[in-house]
A and B are shown apart, each in its own frame.
Chain A
Amino acid sequence: MGIAFGVLGLVTMYASLYGAKERPELAQEASLPLGQALKETYLNKSFLTYVIPAMLIQYTFVALQAVIPFYTKYVLNASEFETTVFLGAMFVTAIPLAAV
């Protein structure tokens, strides 16, 4: 299963490069040195206002997601197949919502 998913990830990522292109002129601009880039980022009020709620949302999703297999097994007493169905249902629900 690990290999199957790995191959799927491999094929789709390499395929995506066919749709990607880089604009060389963008690489002409000099980029900020690391120290200054970090300073500009963490002293940027708009960024800080954004990043705290964004981090909390990420945290919630990651924590929730990691708990799902335990939840379906020990609380719902579901089999592995039923867990797959459960996750599949979430995935299918999410697809039309991507258009919102």
Chain B
Amino acid sequence: MSKLRDFIYSLGSFSASILGQTVTTFAIYYYVDVLKVPTKMISLVMLFYGIWNAINDPLFGQISDTTRTKWWRRIPYVAGFTLPLCIAFALLWMPPYPAGAEKSLFIWYFIVIFLFDGLFTIVVLNWTALFPEMSTRRQGTGFRLKAGTRYHRADFRGRPASGSG
């Protein structure tokens, strides 16, 4: 029962990987090579995207840490933001503008990738935070560790106080 439960929990890693890795591998290629947006414009978006990435992890981590609801503090975020995340993901691949409409596509890419990454952080960070908090039992920890390590980095905010440092 517990192993099955662990396996079911680890499906979240599949979700995070398929969404995250697809964007990492194909977003730039799709907008530059297929939709013909100039590389300069996409580089500019990626620069701000990097900065947004650095800010949103500690930000959403802090919000999650201070959240208290009767449905607890991690699960509501995963449950509530997974649907918007997947919609943002789908929208990234279906811009309402034709290839070559540089400015419109640039703005579309800018908005949708920021939205995607913000939602991705909310969902995956909270999903990942569940992992160390679930592991009171010693058995099966290794399995969960493998399932969760990929996105572990999302959870180091707020840790130093309780960690050994």
Contact = CB atoms under 8 A, between A and B. Distances in A.
Interface of A: 1-3, 5-24, 26-27, 29, 31-32, 34, 37-38, 40-41, 44, 46-47, 54, 58, 62, 65-66, 68-70, 73, 87, 98-99
B134 A37 contact: no
Contacts, number: 154
Given A16-B11, A18-B8, 13 more contacts: A2-B89, A2-B92, A20-B9, A20-B75, A26-B133, A38-B58, A41-B160, A47-B165, A54-B153, A62-B24, A66-B24, A69-B25, A87-B25
A19 B25 contact: no
**Main SS of chain B's interface residues?**
helix
Q: Which of B4, B16, B29 has the most CB of A within 10 A?
A: B29
Contact of A66 (B25, B86, B161): B25
A83 to B, nearest CB: 10
Nearest to B29: A69
Interface of B: 4-16, 18-19, 21-22, 24-29, 33, 58, 62, 65-66, 68, 72-75, 78-79, 82-83, 85-87, 89-94, 123, 127, 130, 133-134, 136, 146, 153, 156-162, 165
A99 B26 CA distance: 27
B82 A13 contact: yes
**Main SS of chain A's interface residues?**
helix
Contacts of B24: 62, 65-66
A44 to B, nearest CB: 5
A13 B12 contact: yes
